[in-house]
Amino acid sequence: MDAGSWATFVVERLPELWLRTVQHLALTGASTGLAIALGIPLGAAAARIPWIRGPILGTVGILQTIPSLAMLTLLLALLHRIGAVPAVIALTLYALLPIVRNTITGLAGVPAELIEAARGLGMTGQQQLLIVRFPLALPVIIAGVRTAAVTGVGIATLSAFIGAGGLGQFINRGLALADTRLILLGAIPAAALALLVDFAIGAAGWALDPRRLAARGSKGVAVARRAALALPFLLFGVGTLGYVRLQPDITIGSKNFTEQILLGHLMAAIIEDRTDLRVDRRFCLGGTMICHGALANREIDLYAEYTGTGLTTVLGRSPSSDPDQVFRTVRREYRWRYDAQWLDPFGMNNTYALTVRRQDAQRHGWRTVSDLRASADELRAGFTAEFAERPDGYPGFREAYGLEFGQAIDIDSALMYDALTNGEVDVIAAFATDGRIAALGLEPLIDDRGFFPPYHAAPVARIETLRQYPAIRTALEALAGTLDDQTMQHLNYQVDHHQRNPRTVAEQFLAENGLTTQ
């Protein structure tokens, strides 16, 4: 990646970079402010009442030990919503420990003789706290706030996983597309933002230092002190711009892999071309249940789903090899249970395919999945986290074929193809429409027991949205049957191998096939 191409790449994405940066600031600022409002009173109470100190520190300490992704997922399940609210709550809980601990430490570190002097002047306990102890403890408390805020900038990158935006959106997409440029586009500004936040809060701490407040200084010093004090408020205030935008008419979601992002852009582009609606692209939301939950909770209006996934993962039904029956079932059940409508499929069947290296298949004579039985206990398998747990994934596969691999590891979908090519794993559960299968010389094995159900992709939309905007149905019907397996492989390959922008690839496909006027 040369400097010229990197600069061009950044310039092309400057509007979105600005949006994601201010969103990141808003998430960090809101959570840090809430943590200050909660943490300082908790710390003050713990410093004043010794017997509650242990429980308070223990509780905020336990919150800090919960993995951040687990915390976000847990809040997602409890609140039944995606976006900024669960992200801010999670970031607030993580920020409590340094603020509470430093408040206790700062208040406990005030010299005893000063407290005695305050008592001698007739100050009440509250006056001692507000006039003597807090001002002297302020530098230590602000150090805790700096730690909390900088940590929050880092953890906020994970908020994109649940649709909260921020710079993690680029990192999430980069991981899904194996695109280093996107990862850097999120990681470098996030690092710079952490330094800027640390500087801004440190400047405010300098302005509030009681030793400097007590000392007389020039008028210029006074102005500098006021400017330093306003800096963090100005910085986090800018972040609110990330959420003060024109509200979109509809929101389209996607899971976090290449094909889903492409299908999301295809649907968004054709709707924008054939209607006057504003579309919000909320992509890379994570797995199936996050997207489905967002649809059911009216936080997105539509996304692309696969019939087999809807049947087994969402509806909890047993796999079926009859594509028409599967489609009829998911269409009927989604309408009844979730007030959602399956529209006509795009055309391709992105089923799972147990895949090995071609040279291994030729050497061992592997053609079908059953051929692996003799050497399964010696093979290392790499599966996505969803495949490892889904009933139409590894658990059901083991039962259907009566074989279990010697080692099965979780691996991101964007990395598993390279892991197989590089010999780090021997078998993967590839996606049949992934262009990297042919490009990397891999060999899908025949599902000779017909275990994997059909996975025909189709738009799934809220019925309320379709009633409100009937033009959406008309626009999406134009995509029905336009994507066969080979076409989808080609589009995926353009993104995965040539690292082209998924939006550009999608819009070019629509224009070349006369589906849009762009």
27 vs 152: CA distance, rounded Å: 8
Q: How many domains does the chain have?
A: 3
Q: Provide, for the chain, the percentages of residues in helix, strand and coil under a 3-state DSSP scheme, each rounded to the nearest 5.
A: 65, 10, 25
pTM as predicted: 0.77
Residue 452, domain member (yes or no): no
Of 295, 324, 296, nearest in space to 311 by CA: 324
Percentage with pLDDT > 90 across the chain? 47
| Identity of the amino acid at 303 | Y
Distances (CA, A) of 248 to 38, 120, 170, 341, 371: 34, 63, 21, 21, 52
Are residues 180 and 255 located together in one domain of the fold? no
Residue 450, domain member (yes or no): no
165 vs 162: CA distance, rounded Å: 8
Are residues 85 and 97 located together in one domain of the fold? yes
Are residues 173 and 193 located together in one domain of the fold? yes
What pLDDT is attached to residue 371? 94
Are residues 39 and 84 located together in one domain of the fold? yes
- pLDDT tens-digit series, residues 107-152: 888 777 777 786 777 777 677 766 777 888 888 899 999 999 999 9
- pLDDT tens-digit series, residues 363-388: 999 999 999 998 999 999 999 888 88
Residue 109, domain member (yes or no): yes
Percentage with pLDDT > 70 across the chain? 91
506 vs 518: CA distance, rounded Å: 11
Query: Measured in whole angstroms, how far is the alpha carbon of residue 163 from the centre of its chain?
Result: 6
Domain's final residue, options 242, 264, 281: 242
DSSP-derived secondary structure letter, 432: T
Does 159 have pLDDT greater than 90?
A: no
Q: What's the CATH number where 399 sits?
A: 3.40.190.120
Confidence of residue 391 (pLDDT cuts 50, 70, 90): confident
Q: Are 145 and 201 in contact (CB under 8 A)?
A: yes
Residue 456, domain member (yes or no): no
What pLDDT is attached to residue 4? 67
Residue 29, domain member (yes or no): yes
What pLDDT is attached to residue 213? 56
Radius of gyration from C-alpha coordinates of the chain: 27
Are residues 181 and 287 located together in one domain of the fold? no
Long-range contacts of 76-82 (CB under 8 A, 24+ apart): 76/162, 76/290, 76/293, 80/293, 80/297, 81/294, 81/297, 81/299, 82/162, 82/163, 82/164, 82/285, 82/290, 82/293, 82/294, 82/297, 82/299, 82/300
Distances (CA, A) of 418 to 171, 428, 479: 19, 10, 32
- pLDDT tens-digit series, residues 290-308: 899 889 988 899 999 999 9
Residue 455, domain member (yes or no): no
Q: Are 278 and 469 in contact (CB under 8 A)?
A: no
Are residues 62 and 138 located together in one domain of the fold? yes
Does 284 have pLDDT greater than 70?
A: yes
Are residues 223 and 311 located together in one domain of the fold? no
Confidence of residue 210 (pLDDT cuts 50, 70, 90): low
Distances (CA, A) of 406 to 22, 121, 386, 415, 493: 47, 76, 19, 20, 31
Distances (CA, A) of 12 to 239, 268, 494: 22, 19, 19
Does 242 have pLDDT greater than 60?
A: no
Are residues 395 and 322 located together in one domain of the fold? no
- pLDDT tens-digit series, residues 67-115: 887 888 788 778 877 778 888 999 999 999 999 999 999 888 877 777 7
Q: Are 82 and 285 in contact (CB under 8 A)?
A: yes
Indicate the average pLDDT of the chain.
Answer: 87
Q: What's the CATH number where 274 sits?
A: 3.40.190.10
Residue 337, domain member (yes or no): yes
Of 497, 501, 496, 394, nearest in space to 451 by CA: 394
Are residues 59 and 106 located together in one domain of the fold? yes
Are residues 181 and 315 located together in one domain of the fold? no
Q: Are 35 and 96 in contact (CB under 8 A)?
A: yes
What pLDDT is attached to residue 111? 76
24 vs 44: CA distance, rounded Å: 30
Distances (CA, A) of 154 to 26, 32, 147, 462: 13, 13, 11, 35
Are residues 172 and 85 located together in one domain of the fold? yes
Of 213, 109, 195, nearest in space to 153 by CA: 195
- β-partners of residue 380 are 407
Q: What's the CATH number where 152 sits?
A: 1.10.3720.10
Of 384, 395, 371, nearest in space to 447 by CA: 371
Domain's final residue, options 223, 242, 261: 242
Q: Are 346 and 435 in contact (CB under 8 A)?
A: no
Span 440-450, average pLDDT: 91
Q: Which domain holds residue 411?
A: 352-444
Domain's final residue, options 226, 242, 258: 242
- The first and second tokens of residue 170, run together, are 């680029």
Residue 417, domain member (yes or no): yes
Q: Three-class SS of residue 316?
A: coil
Give the position of tokens 């209607």: 275
User: In the chain, what's the furthest Cα-to-Cα distance?
Assistant: 92
Are residues 236 and 88 located together in one domain of the fold? yes
Does 49 have pLDDT greater than 90?
A: no
DSSP-derived secondary structure letter, 441: T
